Amino acid sequence: MTTAGRPCNVLQWFEQVPQLLSEHGWCTAVRGNSSALAHCECPWGGKLVRFCFRGIPMRNVQEPARSLVRPETRAEHEPQAPLGFDLLQQLAPGDAVLQHRASWNLLQLCSLVFGDVGMPAFVPAKTPITCRQKLYRACPGPEDTTLMFSTMSGQASDALLICRTRAPEMVDLTAAFSMTSSRFDQWMSTHLCISLESARCKATCYFNRPGLAEMRAIDAKMYRVLVVNSCKRGPPLLPLPPDSSEEPAVRVRTDDDPILLESWIRMPSGKFHFAAFVNQFTRNLRLDLEAFDTLDGQRLVHYQCVVRSDRWASVQEMFMAAFNVQRRAYRRLNGGSIAPSVCADAEPRFVFDDKLAELSQNLTQEEETSAQHHVKVRRTFLEVDEDSDSDDEAFQRPSRRAKTTPRNWPSSDSDESDEASEAQ
């Protein structure tokens, strides 16, 4: 039997495990009050284990989609926590390589992230553990948040944590992770009885720990969205580095310029992406600023990018002064009176992803189907059970229906679909 490769993004998880959020296709090992522990055969080998916790209270949340904060935010603003970690590399907003000083209590209880690499349950990490965490907002539904864990042996995913909004201050939590068959047998026999409610208790504490509301507020303002407008005659120009021997496309200089940048060149041919332009623009100016074309797992349209708010504040004045000189060079080279302009604090616009939209629609249809009346047969009569108070039926009641189809991009390694036209 040929096994599939481990998923590298959320869409691949649902492609390989279509029953990920369904009640079908799982063998239930333990069921508690609005909680369940189940397992099934894993498509890429071994066993797949799933914890489901319904109706976890979550206080002081203004935006349900921000139930989880970005990994880089936690690394910078929760450094003294016993389950803290250090930021090793920033790959994109919401996508970072981290070094854990100790395993998170919920992960420690159920081997959530490290069950597939031999880390015993209930044992704190004795040595730092390196892993990648990637946050997806508006995934798989518009108000959901998903956190994907990967070991650094590759980019394949080891575990998935899905928070689905049930009410303004309540979420459903699904945690799925894989482990070898031998570890599964040992783990289930040893920790089965105490894992479920202990893990639920830890998850509830995690979503309501002290300082989390303040950290969510910091997380919401961590990035700025930049947008370029009015590129009627081609993309904006780049300043020529001082040590370059390349012949400039145009020269401009006035004595009253705060920045004397006289030599400008065109962008290399090819499809224009504002993030790549900003990175090259700041490198040529020797400014400390990095731009990204994705935000929390969603790909931005090509004329937008995101930057760290603190770094933008430190270079904004010099960046904008240099870009104003660029405007004069652009008009001199291309003619006309219109030149590109940059605006900060724009609302993000994301490339539409038809696969994610289809997934969201399928989940919505499944929830609608499961929300239909339960029918009971008693002797020769049919009874419609509309309001069952049993634990089992309450547990099977679906989470809140998604309202809209998101406009987002779930993975940085997917091909771009048709983007929105350039801003005028």
Mind listing the pLDDT tens digit for each residue in 38-56?
999 999 888 998 989 999 9
Q: Do 202 and 269 share a domain, yes or no?
A: no
CA distance 36 to 43: 21
Write out pLDDT tens, residues 10-30: 999 999 999 999 989 999 988
Residue 10 backbone phi and psi in degrees, to 5: -65, -40
52: domain CATH number is: 3.30.530.20
252: containing domain: 223-343
Write out pLDDT tens, residues 101-114: 655 444 444 444 33
Cα dihedral 327, 328, 333, 336, rounded to 10, equals 80
Q: Do 134 and 232 share a domain, yes or no?
A: no
Residue 399 clears pLDDT 70, i.e. is over it: no
Share of the chain above pLDDT 70, in %: 73
Q: Do 206 and 255 share a domain, yes or no?
A: no
Residue at 392 is within a domain: no
Q: Do 193 and 324 share a domain, yes or no?
A: no
Write out pLDDT tens, residues 285-297: 999 999 999 999 9
Residues β-bridged to residue 82: none
Kindly report the CA angle at 375 between 372 and 379, in degrees rounded to 5?
Answer: 175
Q: Do 66 and 180 share a domain, yes or no?
A: yes
Q: Do 175 and 254 share a domain, yes or no?
A: no
Asked if residues 139 and 76 have their Cβ atoms less than 8 Å apart, the reply is no
Q: Do 161 and 184 share a domain, yes or no?
A: yes
Q: Do 120 and 26 share a domain, yes or no?
A: yes
Helix axes 309-334, 274-285, angle to 10 degrees: 90
In 10 A of CB 88, how many CB atoms? 15
Q: Strand order of the sheet with strand 291-292?
A: 291-292, 304-308, 223-229, 341-343
Q: Which H or E element spans position 305?
A: strand 304-308
Model's pTM, two decimal places? 0.79
Q: State the greatest distance between any 2 C-alpha atoms of the chain, in Å, as a whole number.
A: 96
CA distance 305 to 333: 25
Asked if residues 294 and 406 have their Cβ atoms less than 8 Å apart, the reply is no
Residue at 228 is within a domain: yes
Asked if residues 271 and 317 have their Cβ atoms less than 8 Å apart, the reply is no
Residue at 287 is within a domain: yes
For 275, the token pair is 């993030």
